[in-house]
Structure 1
Amino acid sequence: MKQVALGSQGLRVFELGLGCMGMSAFYGDRDDTESVATVHRALDLGVTLFDTAEVYGPFTNEKLLREALGGRRDEVVLATKFGLRIEDDGTVVGPDGSPAYARRALERSLRHLGTDHVDLYYLHRVDPDVPIEESVGGMGELVAEGKVRCIGVSETSAETLRRAHAAFPVTAIQSEYSLFERDAEHNGVLDTARELGIGFVPFSPLGRGFLTGTFQTRADLPEGDARRALPRFGEEAIAANLRVVEALGRIADRKGCTTAQLALAWTIAAGTVPIPGTRRRARIEENVAATEITLTAEDLAEIDAASPHGVATGARNVEAALARDRR
């Protein structure tokens, strides 16, 4: 299995990871039995990067990973996140990127994950009231104590990423990036990460599932699914975006792969380590098979023509979240 460097601080991972959020939060009903089986199948296929966060549940997803990883913890690069103050009863209070909360949240995450350290600890979102230097400085103290191997940030601007890395070496930045969401190519974040030797980890590399071709109408989203509130999943937006998926599907057909595999192969070809989320064994098998696809220069040009920057109809998130993610 192909291993790649994630950042410049020594982490190495399989070139595609597993985002575990949807197993426990935001995407409708849970199926813990199938989710655990999916984690096991991912391990057997060679996946090493597993991504969670304390807010997924809250806490439920970390506990699920503890159960699923069992005695195989040493085989994986385990990533979790903090950044929203969450009380022990699960009440979400608001942003908190302080060093004190970083420590408190990590200690709780270690208990929930059943481990003595995490390999990659992310600041989930920048706290507007705490300078980024203070946040990553506190995270750096946890590295010095051996409770964290490397640190990361999520959804920051290029300027904030540069400031964070100057204060303490950042191993990875996690941001939304896909054939539907290419802002990272145009706002300087991807170029800054490459310049500084910071790994780029795309979340939602399948456009929050849209690039799988699963959704034909809004009714295909289950009740309780958070995507129902997103502009990109409105009825008119879905109809427009399906035309993009169909165009990509024609390219995928010629390559002998699925549209989802084409989209994942594209993110890998960009030098990133995507973490598509799934809670089904069949999907993790499909996703991992994307690592075997080689895209030629001609393929990439055709993909760019079918899905250029700004092609998707509807914003990727609600405006309040977009404003927060520009910090």
Structure 2
Amino acid sequence: MTTLVNKKIGSTGFGLMGLTWRATPIPIEEAIKVMKSALEKGANFWNGGVLYGTPEYNSLHLLKAYFTKYPEDASKVVISIKGGINPASHGPDGSKDFITKEVEDSIAVLDGKCRIDIYECARVDPKTPIEETVGALAELVKAGKIGGIGLSEIGEKSIRKATAVAKIASVEVEFSMFSTDLIENGVAAACAEFSIPIVAYSPLSRGLLTGEIRKFEDLPKDDMRRNFPRFQPENFEKNMDLVHAVEKLASEKGCTSGNIAIAWVKAQSGRQGRPVIIPIPGTVTEKRLAENMTDVRLSEDDLDILDKALKECGVHGDRYGGPLAALQWG
């Protein structure tokens, strides 16, 4: 267990992205059922975003609907909301004016049904000093508008600058067996130094580690993963070597490869001096949710097997290409 903004949370969180950020969002009542099931299974850290969906229907609207139906659950959940993306420029905006207005607008959408426990900018704005962004958020914390400050896709130097301005509640970055950058680039070490929990998005490596995607052609024609280097045909087949290694261990332990992937992320908490790490797998079905919340424990021998597989198989292709690549580890 760990604590964020004075609320204890479990070892696994829940990502809201897929519930609203789809060409055809799932019916709101179905989404609410998945959310209720997540809480009942112990996932009480919910990660959403202003950018997950449209201005008319995103994570905020879904949260309002959920807590309108289940007002008693508002005190049981830690709500983390990502923002800081200006729809006018389609890029990061960490300026005080933009952040302040976005938070105020978000509060208005929630209509008092729940509180934003953590607000974080989805990317570091290269045009705005991180000190200014965090300073603006600190004022919002002081005013009682938000509970705490999160950082997302941020580098070690920026973490250090941010912590000099205000207390940081969480750092959200991609982390899975296919994305271990934070271990090598100093982010994990900085978070451990300042006792900042890491919120690990895409712990299943965008579906690669579920074992359900076997080749590039399995991706739907409009799937955004078709644009990511790691999923390109020249890299996909090579990356399947690591997937096969995970599947082999899963077969031996009588669980799914997805179980192993999430268990590996959770096992990194405190390992070799690392901070608390909370995976936030996303799903749109109760069946997948149940799988994600299945508690599989990895022994030291299991971890050694996976560490060896990581070294031998390697990872082929970057996480992002194009403009998004420049916004990593800001």
Give, as a single letter, the amino acid of the residue that structure 2 aligns with 1:228.
R
Aligned residue number for residue 83 of structure 1 = 84
What is the alpha-carbon distance in structure 1 between the residues aligned to residue 31 and residue 207 of structure 2?
A: 17
Return the letter of the residue paired with 1:23.
L
Equivalents in 2 of 1:183, 1:93: separation in Å? 26
Question: Aligned residue for 1:283?
Answer: 288
Deviation at 1:265, TM superposition (A): 0.8
Q: Distance in 2 between matches of 1:320 and 1:186?
A: 23
1:270 aligns with 2:281: no
Aligned to 2:26: 31
Aligned amino acid, residue 283 of structure 1: R
Change beyond 3 A, Cα 1:242–1:28: farther
Matched, 1:235 2:233: yes
Distance in 2 separating the partners of 1:223 and 1:20: 23
- Name 1:74's counterpart in structure 2: 75
More displaced 10-residue stretch of structure 1: 279-288 or 231-240: 231-240
Task: Determine the structure 1 residue equivalent to 2:179.
Answer: 181
Contact 2:92–2:122 under 8 Å retained in 1: no
Question: 1:197-212 to 2 correspondence within 5 Å?
Answer: 197-212=195-210
**Aligned to 1:61, which of 53, 58, 61?**
58
Q: TM-score, normalised by structure 2?
A: 0.90
Letter of the 1:317 counterpart = Y
Residue of structure 2 aligned with 1:100, choices 97, 114, 121: 97
Q: Does 1:10 align with 2:6?
A: yes
User: Which residue number corresponds to residue 162 of structure 2?
Assistant: 164
Displacement of 1:53: 0.9
Specify whether residues 262 and 321 from structure 1 end up closer, same or farther in structure 2 by C-alpha distance, changes over 3 A only.
same
Gaps of 5+ in 2: 270-276
Distance 1:19 1:92, change over 3 A: farther
> CA 1:187–1:57 in 2, change beyond 3 Å: closer, same or farther?
same
- What amino acid does structure 1 have at the position aligned with 2:120? Y
Per the TM alignment, residue 309 of structure 1 is displaced from its structure 2 partner at its CA by 9.4
Q: In 1, distance between residues paired with 2:107 and 2:3?
A: 25
What secondary structure is seen at the aligned counterpart in 2 of 1:169? coil
TM-score by structure 1 length?
A: 0.91
Q: Does structure 2 retain, via aligned residues, the 8 Å contact 1:117–1:146? A: no
Shift of 1:134: 0.7
The 3-state SS of whatever aligns with 1:148 is: coil
Aligned pairs (5 A) from 1:240-259: 240-259=238-257
Percentage of pairs with the same residue? 34
Helix, strand or coil: the match of 2:50?
Answer: coil
3-state SS of 2:255 partner: coil
CA distance in 1: counterparts of 2:221 and 2:115, whole angstroms: 36
Q: Which has the higher contact order (CA 8 A, sep 6+)?
A: 1
C-alpha distance in structure 1 between counterparts of 2:265 and 2:288, whole Å: 17
Q: Secondary structure at the match of 2:324?
A: helix
1:114-133 paired onto structure 2 within 5 Å: 114-115=111-112, 117-133=115-131
Q: Partner residue of 2:323?
A: 320
1:40 aligns with 2:36: yes
RMSD: 1.8
Contact 1:158 1:192 in 2 (8 A): yes
Deviation beyond 4 Å, 4+ runs, structure 1 = none
Q: Distance in 2 between matches of 1:182 and 1:304?
A: 11
